[in-house]
Structures are given as structure tokens and as C-alpha cells.
Amino acid sequence: MSSTSLSKDNVYERICEVIAEVLVTEKEEIMLESKLINDLGADSIDLLTFASKFQKEFNVSFSFAKMINDTTSAVSALETVNFANVQSALQDALNTKLNESEKTFIESMFDEEGNIMNDSGQKIVAELLTIGRIAEQIFNMINDKMGEGNG
């Protein structure tokens, strides 16, 4: 598939097709807000399969490990860990705004003293790993690559 002819909708449609094929589910059940791990039940092997297929399909170096690492690193790098700082760091790392249910979920990862709980990092990443965010990342990678080719 030629990356020059891909719109954001084309990228989203193809991602849904790949996910449906790998998870053996109906494409129509996959929505932009679907969480790859929490809603669709993807595991670590599925993530590797998706990454490989996305790389071949879109000719980009997509990596869930990088996406997850960027997200957790953004939170780990904070000098002051509080809800506002974590929210801001996650939005920066993901290049997207968090919706209200995601904000509420992240807030629930803090204890009464305002400290983030130990195992929260993985839970937060699983909650934020939506099809829409994956499509956005890949679409941006395609555009960046096309921009490099023009420069």
C-alpha cells in the first residue's frame, strides 16, 4: 500500500483490519476508543505481531515498546509526581488529550496522600493504549517519513 495515498481514516481502517485478523474478531467491534489490552484482550505476543504487521503495512518503524517506554519515561522523569503533572506528561508523550474517563482512571491510581501506587504504570499504559492513539502515532510517522523524503 502506498503511504502517499493514506488518509487518517485509511490508516485507522487498515489497523482495525490487522487487529481483527490477529485477534480473530469482527472489525466492526473495534472502535477508535477501544483499548487494545483492556477491551480487546491483546497480550504481549499480539503486540509483537501487530507491530510487525504495522511496520510491513505502513513502512514505518512502529514499536509498542517505544510507545509504552515513552509514556512510562515521561511519568518517571517527573520531579513532582501528582495528578496534574502525570496528566500533562502523559498527554505530551501520547500527543493527545486525555478524556474524562481516562483522567478519572489515572486519578484512581493515586493513594490518599497523593502518591502514585507501585503497579500503576502498567495499568495506566494499558488504559491509554487505544486504537485511536495507535492510528495517530502511525499516521504521524507516515507523514514524518514523507516529509523527510521531500527535504
CATH class for the domain made up of 3-64+130-144: mainly alpha
Q: Where are the alpha helices (DSSP H) in the chain?
A: 8-23, 44-58, 64-76, 83-94, 100-107, 120-128, 131-150
Spatial CB neighbours of 67, under 8 Å, sequence gap ≥ 6: 129, 134, 137
* Cut 0.85: pTM above it: no
Domain boundaries, the chain: 3-64+130-144, 65-127
Q: For residue 95, what are the CA distances in angstroms to 24, 58, 87, 92, 119?
A: 30, 20, 12, 5, 24
As a whole number, mean pLDDT of residues 16-24 equals: 96
CA distance linking residue 151 with residue 54, whole number of Å: 25
Residue 79 C-alpha cell reads as 520531579
CA distance linking residue 106 with residue 114, whole number of Å: 12
Residue 118 C-alpha cell reads as 507501585
- Checking if the pLDDT of 120 tops 70, the result is yes
Chain segment 69-108, per-residue pLDDT in tens: 888 888 888 888 888 888 898 888 888 889 999 999 988 8
Residue 7 C-alpha cell reads as 488518509
What pLDDT score does 42 carry? Answer: 94
Residues of the chain with pLDDT > 90: what percent?
44
Look at residues 116, 130, 121 and name the one whose alpha carbon lies nearest to residue 19: 130
